[in-house]
Amino acid sequence: MKLHWKIIIGMVAGVVFGLLMSQTSFGSDLIKDWIKPFGTIFINLLKLIAMPLILASLVKGISDLKDISKLSTIGTRTLGIYICTTVTAVIIGLVLVNIVQPGTSITEETRIDLVQEYEAETMQKQEQAQEQSESGPLQPLVDVVPANIFDAATNNRNMLQVIFFAIFFGIGIILIDPKHAKPVKDFFDGLNSIILKLIDLIMESAPYGVFALLATLVVESPSIDLFIALGMYSVTLIIGLILMIFVYGILVKVITNTNPVFFMKGISAAQLLGFSTSSSAATLPVTMDCAENKLGVDKEISSFVLPIGATVNMDGTSVYQAVAAVFIAQAFGLDLSIGAQLGIIVTATLASIGAAAVPSAGIVMLVIVLGQAGIPEAGLALIIAVDRPLDMCRTIVNVTGDAAVSMIVAKSVGKLKDPKDVSCLLYTSPSPRDRG
């Protein structure tokens, strides 16, 4: 049975079990003493893997560039466009979640219960906000640069510092003699593979973690408004993902003069595979084939842009992190300032760069965003049950974004040609481009 079906079963079973136990005199204590700890362990496992994941994957992604000179033309354009689309994705997510406000549909009574449950974390957030208000305007920039990387690596709130170090370290690997760099690069390549395998192992326990989290949630806050809010959250996120795909279509039309319908038809095979696997990495061979043969991207461009994109371009994940973070804050009754939401933009952008191209990596990265914004990480319990199907939708956006950027970069350097394979296209005239 596929993992996502197991997670859905765990979700349903957790809700049903929680509802049944809430009707008994002993059920609440039973779940809190014997079920809730397993949910806590699952959350801790996600937090445990976050720091090594972003360090290993980001160092690998940067060092895979191999030649620093590539960053001067194709590399600079590729990374620049990826960063711009990622920031756009985060902004779309923030705007939507602030307009819809799915977390505010939770009643005040339920919100008070949640706040009381995580009172310590809430107080910590308030103290951190006070410290931030008293700091200078450039303090956030100072905070990005660690004085001690080992000290920074001991706290998930210092993830921006670790990201800075990873990028700095990756550039260092590129700049030294490849002979000397190879052992270090091989180490991080191997470490990245190990971390990805650990994520697989952690996600095998996800059905049980979801069961424990949902059962606990139902018992501790047995109000229907939580589930209504969760539905509104899912709809808000899906709307954000659809809007992001429209953005790609507009960019492709304006910059490459290519009909968006032609683009969507050309990348459809990769989109479907991405949806079924929830993995940009697993979809990469098909994405490259579609880009080269159905979108007309030169192999020199696709072989460079798309592998980098599978590592650093996670626009669907970026929308998700923005929506999820603010939704959880709303659920807890936390009023995020403009500064805090700008921090989410920066953190979500950088965290998405380090997000592994594997199923459910986004929720690991969300731990980083929540920690950086001072939002209780236990709020993951509110959204983790629906993460898997939404992860499938996010991967569609990630894959589509990679293909769109490959076309844009190819066009900018004169490497965008008519596709070899036009069998899948809606139109049959000689040139598939500029068809309105």
CATH number, domain at 221? Answer: 1.10.3860
Q: What is the pLDDT of residue 424?
A: 43
Residue 195, CA distances (Å) to 306, 349, 420 in order: 22, 21, 38
DSSP β-bridge partners for residue 416: 297
Torsion 417-418-420-422 (CA) sign: positive
Residue 426 lies in a domain: no
Q: What is the pLDDT of residue 133?
A: 47
| Domain limits for position 324 | 3-412
Residue 427 lies in a domain: no
Residue 15 lies in a domain: yes
Q: What is the pLDDT of residue 430?
A: 41
C-alpha to C-alpha distance for 189 and 184, rounded to whole angstroms = 9
Residue 433 lies in a domain: no
Task: State the 10-residue block means of pLDDT for the chain, 436 residues long.
Answer: 75 87 88 89 78 78 68 76 88 91 77 60 51 57 84 74 83 88 92 83 82 79 69 91 95 93 90 74 78 86 77 82 87 77 77 55 71 73 71 88 92 80 41 47
Residue 417 lies in a domain: no
Answer yes or no: are the C-beta atoms of 57 and 394 closer than 8 Å: no
Instruction: At 416, give phi and psi (nearest 5°).
Output: -105, 120
Residue 435 lies in a domain: no
Q: What is the pLDDT of residue 223?
A: 61
Q: What is the pLDDT of residue 272?
A: 82
Number of structural domains found in the chain: 1
Answer yes or no: are the C-beta atoms of 64 and 303 closer than 8 Å: no
Q: What is the pLDDT of residue 415?
A: 83
Residue 425 lies in a domain: no
Return the closest-CA partner of residue 79 out of 421, 290, 353: 353
Q: What is the pLDDT of residue 385?
A: 61
Residue 376, CA distances (Å) to 19, 259, 330, 383, 385 in order: 25, 44, 11, 13, 17
Q: What is the pLDDT of residue 74?
A: 75
Answer yes or no: are the C-beta atoms of 292 and 421 closer than 8 Å: no
CB atoms under 10 Å from CB of 136, counted, come to 8
DSSP β-bridge partners for residue 297: 416
Residue 51 lies in a domain: yes
Identify the residue whose tokens are 């920031």: 87
